[in-house]
């Protein structure tokens, strides 16, 4: 891990992570709203829904559910949902937004890095699990991987979305270059990668203007997938969604200006 977190004990680092998210929860919820922002609605949700491929009345676990946006979407699609987050403030926001399909969603305050808490959800109970944009916020993912191997039914699937480890991490820099090509000004958007292999923990901004920066725990793809392989999962599907070229790039460094570079990696793991 990076110098910014190396002097902290795992317990103190985790406590700080939780305190930051509790402090940011209300602002994030008000900013993204009950339906989610463009990043979620245009990139994450469609790909996640395709890979999850929900069937009516399946029981699905929503890991680190935040304000419950995707929990409500899954309930709308006919699933029964158990959703949890370690931020009590996020769970209260999620409950407040849930006015439809209330009988289909159960919200709980659970820490995804705590094996004992995870196992209270019930062994062999779930058809599927999902985790949108949260694995990179967790100090450790081993307890979740191990627990999911027990919480899911045989053949159960786990779909997760993370910031793309290759193109959207603290080791990456967005670049814009302008070229005069025979009298025509050409703008090229690119990504510069200076670090990737070594796991790193450092603070960053998820949304411009948030009250406090939060920790990102960057893991290379090999470490990410191998953690779940060791827990009995196989890779069963993958998508790398990018914004359409016609997306409105209101900021120079908006991801919508980088249509050839995926800011998110979405994978389906299946228990074998």
Q: Which domain holds residue 219?
A: 3-271
Half-sphere exposure of 133 (CA within 13 A, CB side): 21
Q: Which residues of 157-196 are buried (b: 16+ CB within 10 A; e: fewer)?
A: bbbbbbbbbbbbbbbbebeeeeeeeeeeeeeebebeeeeb
Q: What is the pLDDT of the chain when averaged over all its residues? A: 94
Q: Confirm if 119 and 89 have CB atoms less than 8 A apart.
A: no
Average confidence (pLDDT) over 132-159: 98
pLDDT tens profile 226-264: 999 999 999 999 999 999 866 566 788 999 999 999 999
Cα maximum dimension of the chain = 66
* % of the chain surpassing 90 pLDDT: 92
Report the SS3 class of residue 192: strand
Average confidence (pLDDT) over 93-108: 97
Confidence at residue 8, expressed as pLDDT on a 0 to 100 scale: 84
Q: Confirm if 178 and 186 have CB atoms less than 8 A apart.
A: yes
End-to-end CA separation in angstroms for the chain? 31
CA gap 140, 196 in Å, rounded? 18
Confidence at residue 7, expressed as pLDDT on a 0 to 100 scale: 72
Average confidence (pLDDT) over 43-59: 97
Q: Which residues of 212-226 are buried (b: 16+ CB within 10 A; e: fewer)?
A: eebbbbbbbeeebbe
Average confidence (pLDDT) over 34-60: 95
CA gap 195, 201 in Å, rounded? 12
Q: pTM (2 decimals)?
A: 0.94
Report the SS3 class of residue 240: coil
CATH code of the domain covering residue 104: 3.40.50.150
CA gap 28, 61 in Å, rounded? 22
Average confidence (pLDDT) over 134-163: 98
Domain count, the chain: 1
């Amino acid at each position: 891990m990076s110098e910014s977190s190396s002097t902290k004990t795992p317990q103190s680092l985790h406590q700080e992570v939780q305190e930051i998210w509790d402090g940011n929860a209300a602002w994030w919820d008000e900013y993204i709203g009950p339906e989610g922002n463009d990043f979620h609605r245009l990139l994450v949700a469609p790909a996640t829904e395709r890979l999850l491929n929900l069937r009516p009345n399946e029981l699905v676990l929503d890991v680190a559910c935040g304000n419950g946006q995707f929990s409500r979407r899954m309930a709308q699609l006919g699933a029964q949902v158990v959703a949890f987050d370690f931020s009590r403030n996020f769970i209260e926001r999620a409950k407040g937004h849930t006015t439809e399909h209330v009988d289909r969603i159960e919200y709980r305050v659970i820490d995804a890095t705590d094996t004992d808490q995870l196992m209270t959800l019930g062994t062999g109970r779930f058809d599927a699990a999902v985790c949108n944009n949260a694995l990179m916020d967790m100090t450790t993912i081993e307890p979740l991987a191990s627990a999911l191997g027990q919480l899911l039914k045989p053949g159960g699937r786990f779909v997760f979305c993370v910031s793309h480890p290759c193109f959207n991490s603290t080791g990456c820099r967005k670049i814009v270059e302008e070229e005069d090509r025979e009298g025509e000004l050409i703008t090229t958007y690119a990504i510069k990668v200076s670090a990737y292999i070594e796991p790193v923990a450092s603070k960053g901004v998820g949304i411009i203007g948030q009250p406090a920066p939060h920790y990102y725990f960057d893991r290379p793809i090999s470490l990410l997938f191998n953690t779940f392989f060791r827990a009995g999962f196989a890779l069963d599907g993958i998508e790398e969604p990018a914004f359409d070229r016609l997306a409105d790039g209101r900021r120079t460094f908006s991801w919508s200006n980088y249509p050839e570079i995926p800011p998110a990696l979405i994978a389906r793991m299946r228990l074998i």
